[in-house]
Amino acid sequence: MTDLHTNKINASIILKEPDGGIRFGTDALLLADFASGMKKGICVDLGTGSGVIPLLMLATGSRSDFIGLELQEKYAKVAAENAKSNNFAERFNVICGNASDYRTLFECGFAESVITNPPYMRNDCGAENGEEALNIARREILGGIGSFLKAAAWCLKSGGSFFAVYRPDRLVNLLFEMRSNKIEPKRLRAVVPSVGKKPSLILVEGRKDGKEGLVYENDLIIYADGSHSVQTEEMQKIYKKFE
């Protein structure tokens, strides 16, 4: 097993993460909160990493059972270990595989929900990090958002829900791939550092075979002040929810 970093997220979750890789951050926390109203049933987490999103949701009373798909073997092993050590092994199963192989990995139409915090960056964009694991987690090196949406559409039953967090500058790509795969965008929320700032993240919910009609919710503002030292009341509530 690779060297691990241990992070106590809250009173009930101990998260182990491979050193040199991507770490648990605000995007995962906000996506877990955004998707907390998902229906009871099986939820597939595409690109589960160390398994933090299913763990957060299970620890706060989610009625769903989770299957995490992870491309990198060392992360898949750590996610399975995290599920076991946090007493969720019976409700959180981890598969090591590529989302592009969805037809051989999953039965068609078996899932009530799909959730994903996918690689945000194009492979040809900006300077790469020296760590391969970090590059794969952040960049579309081994699969882009189109692969994730094809996998999501295959897994979801008609009427099932899709939840994602993504970069604002690539929102058009996400919405295009959703609709191309018959997952209709139904709810969108921008995450803004503070009042007057541009969005830093976008949260999106879609529905398989859904009708047209998108609700643009009020922005989720993280900080109440320009110096980013005081969180808004809503952000405090989100953190408290997962404590």
Whether residue 48 contacts residue 54, with contact meaning beta carbons closer than 8 Å, is answered with yes
pLDDT tens-digit map of 86-100: 999 999 999 999 999
152 vs 126 pLDDT, higher one: 152
How large is the average pLDDT for residues 169-179? 96
**Is residue 2 predicted with pLDDT exceeding 70?**
no
Confidence of residue 23 (pLDDT cuts 50, 70, 90): confident
Q: What is the mean pLDDT of the chain?
A: 89
Cα 89 to Cα 51, 116, 132, distances in angstroms? 11, 20, 28
Confidence of residue 137 (pLDDT cuts 50, 70, 90): very low
- Domains of the chain (ranges; CATH) run 4-184 (3.40.50.150)
pLDDT at res. 141: 46
Q: How far apart are CA 91 and CA 86, in angstroms?
A: 11
pLDDT at res. 135: 45
pLDDT at res. 122: 52
Collapsing DSSP states into helix, strand and coil, what is residue 195? Answer: coil
pLDDT tens-digit map of 188-219: 999 999 999 999 999 999 999 999 999 999 99
% residues pLDDT > 70 (the chain): 86
How large is the average pLDDT for residues 153-179? 97
Closest C-alpha to 78, from 119, 106, 49, 101? 49
Q: Give the residue carrying structure tokens 């002040």.
A: 225
pLDDT at res. 12: 78
Q: Where are the beta strands (DSSP E) in 110-196?
A: 111-116, 156-166, 183-192
Cα 19 to Cα 9, 132, 195, distances in angstroms? 17, 12, 35
- What pTM was estimated for this model as a whole? 0.89
pLDDT tens-digit map of 112-136: 999 999 986 555 555 455 555 444 4
Tokens of 213: 């009609």
Alpha helices in 145-199 (DSSP H): 145-155, 171-180
Q: Give the residue carrying structure tokens 């690539």.
A: 170
CB atoms within 10 A of CB 237: 11
Q: Kindly calculate the radius of gyration of the chain based on its CA atoms and give it in whole angstroms.
A: 17
Residue partners of 135: CB distance under 8 A and separation at least 6:
128, 129, 141
Whether residue 82 contacts residue 24, with contact meaning beta carbons closer than 8 Å, is answered with no
% residues pLDDT > 90 (the chain): 78
